[in-house]
Amino acid sequence: MSINLNELIKINPVFLAPMSGVTDLPFRSQVQNFGDNLVFSEMNASSEMVYLLKTNKQVFQNEIFNRKNGPVAFQIAGWDPYIMSTAASLLEERGVQIIDINMGCPAKKVVKRYAGSALMKDLSLARDIIESVVRATSLPTTLKMRLGWDEDTKNAPELAKIAEDNGIKMITVHGRTKQQLYRGIADWKFISKVKQNVKIPVVANGDITCFDSAKTCLRESTADGIMVGRACYGRPWFLSRLSKFLLKGTREKDPDLLEQKYIVISHIDKMLSHYGIELGCRLSRKHIAWYTKSLPNSCQFREKIFAKISFGEMSSEIERLFDHATEKLAA
């Protein structure tokens, strides 16, 4: 059954942003253990995806079908309308629920291939891509963009209208230009111009780090929902708490240290199951660093974690760090 994004955003207006190297299956699963927020996959290059999907029917199988707790949007990036539409069609065959088109990534390696936010410099090509992807699938298709290429070309309202006219069902706008990268402050007020120009749901993104910033962002942007990225590093529970705050006004605290310890261990278990022990241990280190950065002795702990230690040694160090922090808090 097709997902109705208009209804979904009313029920839960807080989404997890697509983040390369972060929003893989284990992390998305951690987030949805706390609530049924819509989560987005990492950005996937459409050309590589088409090759993999055509040559290996099992590829992405775990990524797509392990969605026990809530909806997942699969993000694709590229510059060729035919390849983008082919990727969308193949993903639908694999059981994807929502397709998201990336026109916001400011990374140099993406932009130099004329994908991501580079498409905001060529609205004709952007239109062709949107039109092709929407035609290729019956799934709801969404679009993520920035305010524009630079301060002189803030054309997000125009691109949003093109997107709506060509079948896009929801738009997410990061409140910076491509040239800003992640510098400066997200301009939530400018997002309201996008909202004024379309009837489909608009989601605001950028600099949402706490309850109050979430509320201010919604007010200034007049958006229907918010998308949160870096503020979820080491805090997979954060989205569900933001949802409760925006919907009910409750300010739920972070889990206590004992619960956080088990959350970290659970995340590592998922990483090892998904990637295998060697790669899983290596990829989990950045997440462990984010989880533990505010704890006493975390600097020395990270030095040990980033050394070549076994999974058993890593688990013991995590137990020791959290137990010490709990004892210190109780003293």
Catalytic residue IDs: 105
How many CB atoms are located within 10 Å of the residue 308 CB? Answer: 7
Nearest Cα to Cα of residue 200 among 281, 245, 115, 141: 141
Whole-angstrom distance, CA of residue 234 vs CA of residue 209: 13
Contact criterion met (CB below 8 Å) for 214 and 246? yes
CA 263 to chain centre: 19
CA 218 to chain centre: 18
Contacts of the segment 252-258: beta carbons below 8 A, 24+ positions apart: 257/295, 257/322, 257/325, 257/326, 257/329, 258/322, 258/326
Whole-angstrom distance, CA of residue 63 vs CA of residue 91: 11
